[in-house]
Amino acid sequence: MQLALLGWDDRFAAALAFRAPAGTFAGRVLQQYNHIYELMTETGEVRAQVAGRLRHQCAPEDLPVTGDWVAVRVPDGGGDAVIQAVLPRRTCFSRQAAGRVTREQVLAANLDVVFLVVGLDNDFSPRRVERYLAAAWNSGALPIVVLNKVDLCAEAPAKVSAIEAISTGTAVHAVSALHGDGLEAVAAYCSPGRTAALLGSSGVGKSTLINRLSGVDVQATQPVRPADQRGRHTTTRRELFFLPGGGMIIDTPGLRELQLWNGDEGVQRTFDEIGTLAAHCRFRDCRHQDEPGCAVREAVAAGQLDPDRLTGMQKLQQELAWLDRRHDQIAALAEKKRWKAIHKAANRFQRESPKRT
C-alpha cells in the first residue's frame, strides 16, 4: 500500500529521516491489544511490539496509540517487528484519564476529522455536545457533529436545531446509521488519505455507522438495553478501518465520561458568542458572575443568551482551572523531588570524597 493513502506526508517523512534510528521504516498503528500492535506498512500488515528502551523512557501518553506513525525495525532473526520511535503527532484527541491519577490519555492520533456521535434518543444532551466540541477543537482536527437515530425521534427537527444553535462553525448532520439515511454527507469527509474518528457514548450507533460506511459488517453490534435505552459496550479497543472510498476511520469504545485535559482554546471556540459578548464587559477579567457592567449577564437577562450556555461554559472553565492547579502541584512535587535527589547525591559525594590533609 502506498503510504500516501495512509495519510503519510512530507512532515512525517522528515521526522522519520531526522529522528528515527537508521534501518527503520514507517508504519501506521491500526490497533493495539495488550502489548501487541498491528501496523500497516508499504509491504502490508506487520505485527510489532514496543522496544523496551522506548517503553521505559516514554510517559504513557507518548507510547503508540491507534493512528500513530512509528519507526519500525524487523529483527534479523525474524519474529515480531520492534517499534523504535513514535513520530511527532500532527493532531491527537486526548482526555484526562479516568480515575484519580492526573494524566493525559491519548485516544487517537493524526486525525483530520472527529465525528462526535450523539443519539437523538435518551443519549441526547446539548451539554455533552459542548464538552465534546471543546475537546475536539483542542485536538487540532475538524469536529463534525453526527446526530444518529433520527428515525427513532419524533422531535428530531427541534433537537437538530438546538444542537446547530450551540455548534457555531461546526457542521451538524442528522442520520440514521441503521437505515443509511444521511450518510452520504458523512462519507464525504472521508476522502482518500484522510483519517476520521468516531467518539461518543456506548449505544449511540458508532459501530453501526462504521459498518454502513464500510459497506460490510466489520464491527459487531448490540441493541441498547430496553429498560433504560443505555448502550452496551460492543467496541473494546480503538481500531482503524479502511473505507471503500480510500479514507480511514477509527472506531473507539464508548466514553462513559470525557474530562478535558488541557487548553482553553477549545472552550473559547465552543462558546464563541459568549466571547463576543464578553468583549463589552466593563472589566477585562470579568468572570460573568456578580461583577458590575457584565455584558454577558445582561444578555442572559434580556433573553439574548441561553443561561444554560453560560453555566456550561463556566463549568468547563472551572474544570480546566482545577486541572491547571493539579498540573502546578505535580510540577512542584517533581521539582522538589529533583532537588532532593541533587542534595542527596551531593551529600553522598562529600562523604565518599577523600579528606584533604
Residue 109 has pLDDT above 80, yes or no: yes
Which domains are present in the chain? 3-86 (2.40.50.140), 92-251 (3.40.50.300), 271-352 (1.10.40.50)
What is the average per-residue pLDDT within 267-276? Answer: 92
Q: Which residues contact 145 (CB under 8 A, 6 or more apart)?
A: 116, 118, 129, 132, 133, 163, 167, 170, 171, 172, 173
Q: Which residue has the higher pLDDT, 235 or 129?
A: 129
What percent of the chain is predicted at pLDDT more than 70?
Answer: 90
Q: Which residue has the higher pLDDT, 136 or 345?
A: 136
SS3 sequence, 15-56? Answer: HHHHHCCCCCEEEEEEEEECCEEEEEECCEEEEEEECHHHHH
pLDDT in tens, 35-92: 899 999 999 999 999 999 999 988 889 999 999 999 999 888 778 899 999 999 999 9
Pairing assessment for the beta strands 104-109 and 92-96 based on DSSP bridges: antiparallel
Give dist(CA 48, CA 29) in Å, integer.
Answer: 9
What confidence score (pLDDT) does residue 356 get? Answer: 53
Burial of 74 (0-12, 13-18, 19+ CB in 10 A): middle
Residue 101 has pLDDT above 60, yes or no: yes
What is the average per-residue pLDDT within 339-348? Answer: 79
| Chain-centre distance for alpha carbon 162 | 24
Of 194-198, 199-203, 233-237, 321-325, which gets the smallest average pLDDT? 233-237
> Average pLDDT over the chain, rounded to whole?
87
Residue 193 has pLDDT above 80, yes or no: yes
Give dist(CA 210, CA 303) in Å, integer.
Answer: 41
What confidence score (pLDDT) does residue 220 get? Answer: 60
Confidence at 233, pLDDT banded by 50, 70, 90: very low
pLDDT in tens, 273-289: 999 999 999 999 899 98
Q: What DSSP state is assigned to residue 323?
A: H
